[in-house]
Amino acid sequence: MALTHLLSLTDQALNQFVLGIGQPEFRSRQLRNWLFSNLEIDFQKMQNLPKAMQNSLQETATCSVLSLKAEQISEDGTTKWAFETQDKNVFESVLIPSENRRSLCVSSQVGCAMGCKFCRTASMGFIRNLSLGEILEQVHFANRHLKQHDGSRISNVIFMGMGEPLHNLEAVALACEILNSEDGFGISRNKITVSTSGVVPKILEWARRASQFKLAISLNGSNNLMRDSLMPINRRWPLEVLLETADEYIRLTGQRLTFEYILIKDITATPEAAHELKQIAAHRNCKLNLIPLNPGSFPGRSELAAPSESEIEEFENILNTGGFQVLRRKPRGRDIFAACGQLAIQQKEVA
């Protein structure tokens, strides 16, 4: 009999599970406290649970369905983990520590179907969605790691690892709710961000389903010709349709939207592109995150290179006259292929 993965259960499902093993419903609150507040995964150490319940949990449940296959630590302190699922698929998560925060870049899928030309994950293709429990276990694992190392906890969760989160919308939405819940991980809703390549119908579904969490759209091109060449999704939902949807999202939610924009030499990082991008952002409730292309983001694409520092500064100077917030993403973990666009893994690499 397959064990029940407790991290895959919503509050209601956990209540039902506890009743199903012959325990009163209030025990589910105690169990939830052990799982999320104390980060305990050994049922025998859950001291305020009766012995009979501990034994039942041992026989019927588990807190972990992922196996750690590899760990790499960057010279800048970034840590990348490769996890193997029970069906022998492998995906990655990245812990990004800084002075005042602990951010975790989580995956929502094994591989990705979007085919973006500047992203190594595209080389994997799409394998499958991750379950709610597999998503939350990444955060649980990272929190246990931090508890042992410096006593801190994850402060920010970013759905920018492997996969298109809105193609796994319900599991991601439930994960965000548990990440935010006081009975879950207790992470502020303003510190939970979901990033999409621009799946237009799902953006509006997300606005209705989980508008309290931050949304980032990977724009990565200032016109259709440019975006077509980099992101196949633009051929289905061109830029003007995406921007209309972004406007509707802002109207429905009242939230400021983040546009992510990758800087590629002679393609997206030209002065002409900067002026087009400024026109896109100037009249919208948005901010821009600029992401210089990371080396090795897509093997075999030698024509893709990062712009020089002077080219980036010229690009930023044009945008800075637009009256909106512009941030440049500082690359972290490049030396271990943990930065934006660098996540990819083949099963044989970690077998």
Residues assigned a catalytic role = 92, 340
**Cβ neighbours of residue 267 under 8 Å, at least 6 residues apart?**
226, 229, 230, 273, 304
Separation of CA 131 from chain center: 14
> Which of 137, 125, 122, 124 has its CA nearest to residue 83?
137
Cα gap 53→18, rounded to integer Å: 9
Which two structure tokens, joined as six digits, stand for 308?
A: 């020089």
**Cβ neighbours of residue 124 under 8 Å, at least 6 residues apart?**
110, 111, 112, 162, 344, 345, 346
- What is the amino acid identity at position 162? M
Per-residue DSSP letter, 211: T
Other CB atoms within 10 Å distance of the CB of residue 285: 15
- What is the amino acid identity at position 167? H
